[in-house]
Structure 1
Amino acid sequence: MSQTRANSEMLYRVLGSTNEKVSAIGLGGWHIGLKHVDEQLAIRIVRTAIDRGITFMDNSWDYNGGVSEIRMGKALRDRYRDKVFLMTKIDGRSKKAAAKQLDESLQRLQVDYIDLVQHHEILRHEDPYRVFDPEGANAALIEAREAGKLRYIGFTGHKDPYVHLHMLEIAASHQFKFDTVQMPLNVMDAHYRSFEKLVLPELVKQNIGVLGMKSLANGILLRSNTVEPIECLHYALNLPTSVVITGIDSMEILEQALTAVRTFQPMDEQQVRSLLAKTAKAASSGEFEPFKTSSIFDSTAQNPDWLGDEPQRIQQLMPS
């Protein structure tokens, strides 16, 4: 994997086949919209991250009712927009819902275009069919790309690696190749329903940009008392990830992420094995990866209206 250090602090990697260079650590958008983070602090976190070399910005149309995108939009004003690779996600599975959400994201972020837009929470086996329906969300994103509203298209999910593989298969059957895929990659994932073992090799083979998330699972991994935060970040950075997206809700946590990148050295097999051995027992049941084993993290399950209408042709098959 091609990577460079532009300065002593930040590592940059190539995003799949896009040839875009992005920071190996990405700033997670969810945390900057949380209630305990005021707007002033959120803007300070984003701008300090950019000043320190972080270029990859993560967000989503549904994060904190739009607050996360609004705050990021304010932080990216003035000279900051041109320094970042901006990503957001949309939940709509129908063309109409996806187009509407994308336009709302553009407004909140106060930008003319978004670098990368991803289909969010591909969790169910029917999601790929809805996204790639002729009146599905991917048609909206392709039109938006042609109109200059976005540059690249990807998808995300945190539930089941087989759903990710299914999404890649359905995309290929429509002669479509994603630019990026986002998924949980952490020291516990390797032991349970593993994206690292099942999906990562396929992304590397197809040269699709790998976006790792949940490297600390919002701090839940640390409650296992088996690993330290820096170890978690180093493990994710050691995988063939383009970006490891991490949630940052304080200046201290930002400093921790920057320290992880600055001190990162490629790990040998023995180092990886010993880290995985420490987490094997705690990880075996999925207890510390509740995004895989519960619906607590499934915002689209709690808000099914975000997905939009089922495809017309499916509805027409139903008996009246």
Structure 2
Amino acid sequence: MADVERRGEMPYRILGRTGEKVSAIGIGGWHLGLPKVDEKLGIRIVRDAIDRGINFMDNCWDYNEGLSELRMGKALRDGYRQKAFLMTKIDGRTKKEAARQLEHSLERLQTDCIDLVQHHEILRFEDPNRIFSEDGAQAALLEAQKAGKLRYIGFTGHKDPRIHLYMLEVARENGFTFDAVQLPLNLMDAHFRSFSRLVLPELVKDGIGVLAMKTLANGSILKSKTVSAIECLHYALHLPTSVVITGVDSMAILDQAFEAARTFKPFPDAELQALLARTREAAARGQYEPFKTSSIYDGTAVNPKWLGEEPPELQALMMQD
């Protein structure tokens, strides 16, 4: 995706059909609440990132039991909120639970309106049906959008590209097109259960903003000793992404993100193929993408209550059995 301008040290791109200008790299919210990141450092990471040109801020209702959103909210005081494109995610599948979680996020983030709210962890084939049911989470987000509490709607997931495709299909059946979709895009994904091959072309075709995540797979890809962190970030920037979201838990890692943006140039085809060839064998079984092959990263699997109750009509059917 072509850069449209630079702000400070950061190139900017367009977030799909929204027309919003967003930094090519965004700050991942999960790391801001880790035990090794104290509040002072978390706030400094966000503010330094914004001062240097990053405007896209990722977060989620469930990250670190709300601590990540609380820290983001504090960091965005003193005029920083106006400089940020703020995104968060909710896990609720029911209208009631989604609305409850959204209100928590608004309060923690200390804002009246979130720029982008996403249905989080679309990991199961039943998730789209629950979200788009009459009393599902999508109804809550559409009502919140109408009330001015959020601007755009998207979804995320990290398990299987076919589930992403099904979510897009169910949305179309309901007359809805997402504004953004978040998905794993990395040098291992290119070879195994590939989001870049199956989902990315559909998003580009429909003008949906592409949010890359798991670019380094929380460091797992580096353990393969096939590629560097900068090469991983460059690969995601090479794809037609609007934003490459990266976790930052230190000022050194923030510098790394800016270095990747500063030094990025689209890969000539021969160089890209050589890079993919280096990762092909290591990627074959998905061992460096554990979010696809295990439940380690599945927060909603460990906490099913986050999703909300099953629809009453289904509960009634179960009782009849």
**TM-score computed with the length of structure 1 as normaliser:** 0.99
**Equivalent in the alignment of 2:200:** 200
The C-alpha deviation readout for 1:91-131, integer Å capped at 9, x for no partner, is 00000000000000000000011000000000000000000
8 Å Cα contact 1:60/1:69 also seen in 2: yes
Identity in percent:
68
- Label 1:8 to 1:81 Cα distance change in 2 as closer, same or farther (>3 A): closer
Pairing of 1:165-314 with structure 2 (within 5 A): 165-314=165-314
Contact 1:8/1:262 (<8 A) preserved: no
Q: Structure 1, residues 44-75: CA drift from partner, whole Å, max 9, x if none?
A: 00000000000000000000000000000000
The total of aligned residue pairs comes to 320
The Cα offsets for residues 14-58 of structure 1, whole Å up to 9 and x where unpaired, read as: 000000000000000000100000000000000000000000000
Q: State how far apart, in whole Å, the 2-side matches of 1:268 and 1:206 are.
A: 26
Paired residues for 1:84-95 under 5 Å: 84-95=84-95
Q: Which amino acid aligns with 2:27?
A: L
Structure 1 runs not aligned, ≥5 long? none
Deviation at 1:8, TM superposition (A): 6.2
SS in structure 2 at match of 1:265 = coil
Q: Supply the distance in 1 between the matched residues of 2:140 and 2:64 (Cα, whole angstroms).
A: 24
| 1:70 corresponding residue in structure 2 | 70
- What is the RMSD computed on CA atoms of the aligned residues? 0.8
Is the Cα–Cα contact under 8 Å of residues 8 and 52 in structure 2 kept in the other structure? no
Whether the aligned pair in 2 keeps the contact of 1:70 and 1:109 (CA below 8 Å) is yes
SS where residue 318 of structure 1 aligns? helix
Unmatched segments (≥5 aa) in structure 2: none
1:257-296 deviation line (CA, Å, top 9, x unaligned)? 0000000011111111011001001000000000000000
Following TM superposition, by how much is the alpha carbon of 1:319 offset from its aligned partner in structure 2, in angstroms? 3.9
Question: For 1:76 and 1:216, how far apart are their aligned partners in 2?
Answer: 26
Match of 1:318 in 2: 318
Which consecutive aligned stretches of 4+ in structure 1 deviate over 6 angstroms post-superposition?
none
Q: What do residues 155-195 of structure 1 show as CA deviations (whole Å, max 9, x unaligned)? A: 00000000000000000000011000000000000000000
How far 1:7 moved relative to its partner? 4.5
Partner of 1:37: 37
Asked if structure 1 preserves the Cα contact closer than 8 Å seen for 2:22 and 2:243, the reply is yes
The one-letter code of the counterpart of 1:299 is G
Return closer, same or farther for 1:134/1:76 CA change in 2, 3 Å cut-off.
same
Match of 1:101 in 2: 101
TM-score when scaled to structure 2? 0.98
Question: 1:204 is aligned with what amino acid?
Answer: V
Following superposition, the deviation at residue 313 of structure 1 comes to 2.1
SS in 1 for 2:22: strand
